Amino acid sequence: MNLQTLEKLVDESYLELGLATKDYADAAIVLEQKKYTNEIRKAKLMQSGLIDGKNQSIRDAQLQEAMAKDLDELHQLDMAESRRKFKMQQVQIAVDRACALLRIAELTEEK
């Protein structure tokens, strides 16, 4: 590959990294919002008297049952965040590779 092609590859890789980083950040924000919402719902359930188990194990089981849909949504958001983080890491590897190839080409051309 010539220098112009490699420079273009580096530019495109950085643009893709920017998009992947934004996607990951967006997913992380949505996940944190859901965690916060779940904590508020949990507190409301506790205050309402619906969670009335004699011990912590029973109360935890009641919360799991009452919040099953919320916990499933939280799990799905957590998985989505993980997938976006992995994508961002893959793109970072592509950026690093493109930069290394460009540097090798520059060094080779200098000789």
pLDDT band at 1; cut points 50, 70, 90: confident
User: What angle in degrees, to the nearest 10, is found between the helix axes of 56-66 and 3-48?
Assistant: 120
Alpha-carbon Rg for the chain in angstroms? 24
pLDDT band at 111; cut points 50, 70, 90: low
Dihedral sign for Cα 48, 54, 60, 63, please.
Answer: negative
Q: Round to whole Å and give the CA distance between 92 and 90.
A: 5
For the chain, the domains span 3-110
Residues 65-104: pLDDT tens digits?
999 999 999 999 999 999 999 999 999 999 999 999 999 9
Give first-to-last CA distance, the chain, whole Å: 17
Residues 47-56: pLDDT tens digits?
999 999 999 9
pTM of the entire predicted model: 0.86
